[in-house]
Amino acid sequence: MRRYFGRKIIIYISTFFLAVTIDWAIPRFMPGNPVVNLLSRTALRAESAQAMYSYYTRAFGLDVPVWKQYLNFWNALFHGDLGTSVLLFPQKVATIIMKAVPYDAFLLIPAILLSFYAGNKFGAFAARNKWLDNTILPLGYILTATPYMWLGILLAWSLGIVAGIFPFASAYSFSMVPSFSLAFILDLLHHWFLPFISLFLIGFGGWAIGMRNMIIYELEADYSHYLEALGAPRGLVRKYAFRNAILPQITGLALQLGVIFSGALVTEVVFSYPGIGYWILQAIQNQDYFLLQGCFLFIIIGVLVANFIIDIIYVTVDPRTRIGMQGGSA
């Protein structure tokens, strides 16, 4: 157990280190200078711009040699300071991200978890029921194959504009102020529904298909035949098959959850929903190194944490892994 986790932790830490270094490096290799960019946006006259130039360069820590910037970066990281944004100067990157994340989480976590649950359940059903297999499954494939933005916009247009039963812009009504009242929570959910359902539909298909295939293989495995030969009820066989089949799905879930941290850019564009994805796009288009860096960092940490948690779950759930770690063979 210790060796397993020990190795895992070393791998994670080195992956983290490498990924963060790349994260720090990439925005800096983009063409353009963020200070010049910031100054040009302010349309200052040359004399005023010059006075500000050195201030900004110092403020962003760009006046020290590159290797020192790298070390400062790690230092700031451990203090939770992700720098100051260029785009929204003088707001801090961490503030911007923290304000955006709840919306993403609120939208994506239910969407991913629910589509995981529903998709796998349906996939399992479809594996044993020929009728379902020939109707739900093709539907699942079509859903996975649908370009997300197309589905999203059609939903927004049909349910939001034509039928008018759902709002299609923003996280909560423009006439509301956030509070813990019932009215606000209902309003929040009302706005949440369309983005959620679009994400759910697309995700559902993928899980259903995956599960269906896994179950079929498991049902064809030797142990299934053995159990059947012993006269075990179909339900029992299916239960074991399901357990084996769910394992690879969990890895996929980990990756999906990790991706939450990068936000759902297209959802945010289609439904004008606030979130990190939008900030990433803005940061790149406006050459905001620090915001970009901060967002990426956030994503990297999130993904690695999610992966690590899933690895732990794997160990607890899959006895073969546990035994394998202890040196035995599965």
Partner 1 sequence: MIEQMNIKKSEKIDKIPIIKPKKINEFLYFAFRNNRVRVGLGVVLFFLLLTFIGPLLTHYKWDAYIGPFSVPPSSLYWMGTTSYGQDVFTQFVLGLKATFLVGVIGGGLGTFIGVMVGFIAGYRGGMVDEGLNMITNIVLVIPTFAILLIIAAYLKVRGIFVESLFIGFTAWPWAARAVRAQTFSLRSRDFVDMARMSGMKPLKIIFTEIAPNMMSYLLMTFILQFGGAILIAATLDFIGLGPTNAISLGLMMNYAVLSGALIYRAWWWFVPPGFAIMAIVGSLYIMNVGLDEVFNPKLREM
Partner 2 sequence: MKKVFLWSLAVIMVITMVAAFSLSGCNTTTTTETAAAATTAAATTAAATTAAATTAAAAALPLGFSYNPETAKKILADAGYKDVDGDNFVEAPDGSKIALTVTCPLGWSDWMEAIRVISESAQAAGINLKNETPDYGAFTTALFGGTFDTSLYNPGNLANTPWTVYNAWFNHPIVETMQNGNYGRYDNKELFDLIDQLGKVSVDDVAGIQAVVSKIQKIQLTDLPYIPLWYNGVWAQFSNAVWTNWSTSAADTPKDIPCTWNEYWQRGGLMQLTELKPVEGVEPGTGTYPRNETLYVSGAAWGAYSDSNPLIPGSKANSSGTIGLLYETPFMYDPLTDKMIPWLAESGSWIDPNTYEMKIRQGIKWSDGQPLTAEDVKFTYELGKNFPSVWFSPMWKYMTEIVKVDDYTLQIKFTDPIYQEFSYNLFNLPIVPEHIWKNRTEVEVSTGINENPVGSGAYLWDAKGMGPDRNVWVKNPNWWAIKALGLNVAPKRIVDIRTSGNNVTLGMILKGEIDLSNNFLPGVAELINKGYVQSYYPKAPYMLSANTACLFLNLTKKPLDDPAFRKALAFSINTGDIVNVAYANLVQVANPTGLLPSLDKYIDKTLLGQ
Q: Which does 18 bind (CB under 5 to 8 A by kind): partner 1, partner 2, none?
A: partner 1
Task: Specify the residue, 147 or 178, whose C-beta has the smaller distance to partner 1.
Answer: 147
- Taking CA atoms, 121 is separated from 205, 209, 316, in Å, by 11, 11, 22
Contact by Cβ (8 Å): 160, 154 = no
Task: Specify the residue, 187 or 264, whose C-beta has the smaller distance to partner 1.
Answer: 264
Asked if 138 is part of the footprint of partner 1 (rule: CB under 8 A), the reply reads yes
In the complex, least distance from residue 236 CB atom to partner 2, rounded to whole angstroms: 47
Q: Which of 70, 91, 92 is nearest to 82 (CA)?
A: 92
Q: Which does 103 bind (CB under 5 to 8 A by kind): partner 1, partner 2, none?
A: partner 2
Task: Specify the residue, 47 or 222, whose C-beta has the smaller distance to partner 2.
Answer: 47
Select from 78-86, 90-98, 186-194, 317-325 the region that touches partner 1 (CB under 8 A): 317-325
CA angle in degrees (0–180, nearest 5) for 43-44-46: 120
In the complex, least distance from residue 74 CB atom to partner 2, rounded to whole angstroms: 18
- When binding is defined by CB under 8 A, the residue of 167, 195, 210, 274 that contacts partner 1 is 210
Considering only residues 245 through 264, tell me which ones interact with partner 1, judged by CB under 8 A.
Answer: 247-252, 255, 258-259, 262
Q: Which does 225 bind (CB under 5 to 8 A by kind): partner 1, partner 2, none?
A: none
Asked if 213 is part of the footprint of partner 1 (rule: CB under 8 A), the reply reads yes
CA-to-CA distance for 194 and 17, rounded, in angstroms? 38
CA-to-CA distance for 238 and 224, rounded, in angstroms? 8
Q: Which does 165 bind (CB under 5 to 8 A by kind): partner 1, partner 2, none?
A: none
In the complex, least distance from residue 250 CB atom to partner 1, rounded to whole angstroms: 8
**3-class state of residue 45 by DSSP:** coil
Task: Specify the residue, 87 or 280, whose C-beta has the smaller distance to partner 1.
Answer: 280
Q: Which does 163 bind (CB under 5 to 8 A by kind): partner 2, partner 1, none?
A: none
Q: Which does 286 bind (CB under 5 to 8 A by kind): partner 2, partner 1, none?
A: partner 2
Q: Is 140 exposed, middle or buried (0-12, 13-18, 19+ CB in 10 A)?
A: buried
CA-to-CA distance for 244 and 241, rounded, in angstroms? 5
Task: Specify the residue, 142 or 186, whose C-beta has the smaller distance to partner 1.
Answer: 142
Contact by Cβ (8 Å): 48, 251 = no
Asked if 74 is part of the footprint of partner 1 (rule: CB under 8 A), the reply reads no
What is the b/e burial string over 215-252, where b = at least 16 CB atoms within 10 angstroms of the residue's CB? Answer: bbebbeeeebeebeeeeeeeeebbebbbebbbeebeee
CA-to-CA distance for 109 and 309, rounded, in angstroms? 15
Asked if 309 is part of the footprint of partner 1 (rule: CB under 8 A), the reply reads no
Asked if 307 is part of the footprint of partner 1 (rule: CB under 8 A), the reply reads yes
Residue ranges of alpha helices (H) inside the chain are 2-28, 34-42, 46-59, 66-78, 93-128, 130-145, 148-155, 182-220, 222-229, 234-260, 265-271, 276-285, 289-317, 319-325
In the complex, least distance from residue 165 CB atom to partner 2, rounded to whole angstroms: 11
